[in-house]
Amino acid sequence: MKVLIVGGGGREHAIAVKCSESKLVDKLYAAPGNAGIAKLAECVDISVMDADKLVAFAKEKDIDLTIIGPDDPLVAGVADAFTAAGLRVFGPAKNAAIIEGSKAFSKDLMKKYNIPSAAYEVFDNANAALSYLETAKMPIVLKADGLALGKGVLICNNLDEAKAGVKTLMLDKQFGAAGDKIVIEEFMTGREVSVLCFCDGTHIKPMTSAQDHKRAKDGDKGLNTGGMGTFSPSPFYTEDIDKFCKEKIYQPTMDAMKAEGRDFTGILFCGLMLTEDGPKVLEYNARFGDPEAQVVLPRMINDIIEVMEACIDGKLDEIDLQFEDNAAVCVILASDGYPEHYDKGFVISGLDTFDDKDGYYVFHAGTKLTDKGIVTNGGRVLGVTAKGEDLFKARANAYEATKWIDFENKYMRNDIGKAIDEQ
């Protein structure tokens, strides 16, 4: 089979590694890919948002399956363009990807179908939002309705912060049109867990759990980022919690989307908060998490193409989804200063060290191949993942492997997976 991966981050590199291990794949392409993916796939310089060019390329190369990685093209309907052209694509249609594209949509869906989540109100008028806040309980959470690179969520400790947040989102439009509408949500406390699920429109199969560290600095300090590291599985996601989520969250979400005429095919990412009152949905995403994919996929035993094909064909119930009985930790190597200002263009050394090491991976996120070699080209540069027989060993292995890589202004958190010490 010929397979095209749309995207060029660490998540797509993790997908590419898994595809390259598939017995069904003869040739792999990526658009636009990156310097790491280029070792496994032929990369073509087409934007993830350019549906016409992507479809034309897939036709020209006789691509059998296209996998769309990022949220933006899914929410914009790039999967629909493939389907309309009679091409097979893995990723939800636009009318289903709205579960990530609009927080108001997902909150209304959960309310209508009794899926556990925080209490909320939706506002498209700043004055109404401000007067609602006057009597609301603090802390409180403000969320831009639309996509905002994972940064459109503001946790506000008091009324002043909340009012300033409404101004940031709705009046100053820091996230553009994404803030035309906002969700104001009850603040929840508990452990966070990410569970990524394969979906075929009717059936849903959760993968092993993972946890992300979103803040830039150790001890969950600093600004929110796209994610500074992950571990899998989460020791807090017990069998009882899994059973509850399957019955009350995952399958009900599939059924709700079907009932709305929005059959969801692809990856449904359930961001959960394990509260005292039980698990509740923080957010849905319509794709693999980044960097959750970098710890979940290396532990997956199945052939990823077989699973994705089963999703497209509505036969996911025939798949026995299996994960290794071990653990993985991913530490993001970032450019110092991320997520604000940072320099790039520094030569990266040590990448080859990973070539002959089983159970170790270096996923490229912000890198570029130049005549000087591979250089840094973004805030999140690389994801260093290692497996181990348990989380402690996986963490020790991952931090050891971070030492193999060097570049000027290399920055990482030193406490990825540390929550497990409290166990």
* Out of 64, 263, 290, 309, the residue judged to bind ligand GLY by CB under 6 A: 290
Q: Are 335 and 52 in contact (CB under 8 A)?
A: no
Name the minimum Å distance from CB 110 to ligand AMP: 12
Closest Cα partner for 36 from 306, 381, 322, 285?
A: 381
Q: What 3-state class would DSSP assign to 132?
A: helix
Name the minimum Å distance from CB 94 to ligand AMP: 20
Binders of ligand GLY in range 291-310 (CB under 6 A): 292
- Of 82 and 284, nearer to ligand GLY (C-beta) is 284
Q: Which partner, ligand AMP, ligand GLY, none, binds residue 292 by CB below 5 to 8 Å per kind?
A: ligand GLY
* Out of 92, 101, 150, 379, the residue judged to bind ligand GLY by CB under 6 A: 150
Q: Which partner, ligand GLY, ligand AMP, none, binds residue 289 by CB below 5 to 8 Å per kind?
A: ligand GLY
76: its two tokens: 């914009």
188 binds ligand AMP (CB under 6 A): yes
* Out of 70, 77, 116, 227, the residue judged to bind ligand GLY by CB under 6 A: 227
Q: Is the dihedral of CA 203, 308, 362, 347 positive or negative?
A: negative
- Of 283 and 290, nearer to ligand AMP (C-beta) is 283
Q: Are 360 and 354 in contact (CB under 8 A)?
A: yes
212 binds ligand GLY (CB under 6 A): yes
236 binds ligand AMP (CB under 6 A): no
Q: Which stretch binds ligand GLY (CB under 6 A): 165-173, 273-281, 285-293, 382-390?
A: 285-293
Q: CA–CA separation, 28 vs 31, rounded Å?
A: 10
87: its two tokens: 């091409």
Q: Are 4 and 33 in contact (CB under 8 A)?
A: no
187 binds ligand AMP (CB under 6 A): yes
Binders of ligand GLY in range 64-103 (CB under 6 A): none
185 binds ligand GLY (CB under 6 A): no
Q: Which residue is nearest to ligand GLY (CB)?
A: 289
Q: Are 266 and 287 in contact (CB under 8 A)?
A: yes
- Of 254 and 282, nearer to ligand AMP (C-beta) is 282
Number of chain residues interacting with ligand AMP (CB under 6 A): 15
Binders of ligand AMP in range 392-421 (CB under 6 A): none
Name the minimum Å distance from CB 146 to ligand AMP: 12
Distances (CA, A) of 422 to 18, 275, 419: 32, 17, 6
Q: Concatenate the DSSP letters of all residues of 346-414 into one string.
A: PBPB-GGGGTT-TTEEEEESSEEEETTEEEE-SSEEEEEEEEESSHHHHHHHHHHHHTT-B-TTEE--S
Give the burial class of 292: count Cβ atoms within 10 A of its Cβ; 0-12 exposed, 13-18 middle, 19 or more buried.
buried
152 binds ligand GLY (CB under 6 A): no
142 binds ligand AMP (CB under 6 A): no
Q: Integer distance in angstroms from the first to the last C-alpha of the chain?
A: 45
Using CB under 6 A as the criterion, what x/- string covers residues 145-184 for binding ligand AMP? Answer: -----x--x-x-----------------------------
282 binds ligand AMP (CB under 6 A): yes
Q: Are 388 and 326 in contact (CB under 8 A)?
A: yes
Q: For the chain, how long is the longest CA-to-CA vector?
A: 61
Name the minimum Å distance from CB 192 to ligand AMP: 5
Q: Are 19 and 305 in contact (CB under 8 A)?
A: yes
Q: CA–CA separation, 32 vs 29, rounded Å?
A: 9
Q: Which partner, ligand GLY, ligand AMP, none, binds residue 153 by CB below 5 to 8 Å per kind?
A: ligand AMP
* Out of 32, 222, 235, 271, the residue judged to bind ligand AMP by CB under 6 A: 271
Q: Which partner, ligand AMP, ligand GLY, none, binds residue 227 by CB below 5 to 8 Å per kind?
A: ligand GLY
Q: Which partner, ligand GLY, ligand AMP, none, binds residue 141 by CB below 5 to 8 Å per kind?
A: ligand AMP
At 367, give phi and psi (nearest 5°).
Answer: -135, 165
160's CB contacts (< 8 A; 6+ apart) are none
The DSSP output letter for 210 is B
Contact footprint for ligand AMP (CB under 6 A): 118, 141, 143, 150, 153, 155, 185-188, 192, 214, 271, 282-283
Q: Can you give the binding site for ligand GLY, defined by CB under 6 A?
A: 150, 212, 227, 285, 289-290, 292
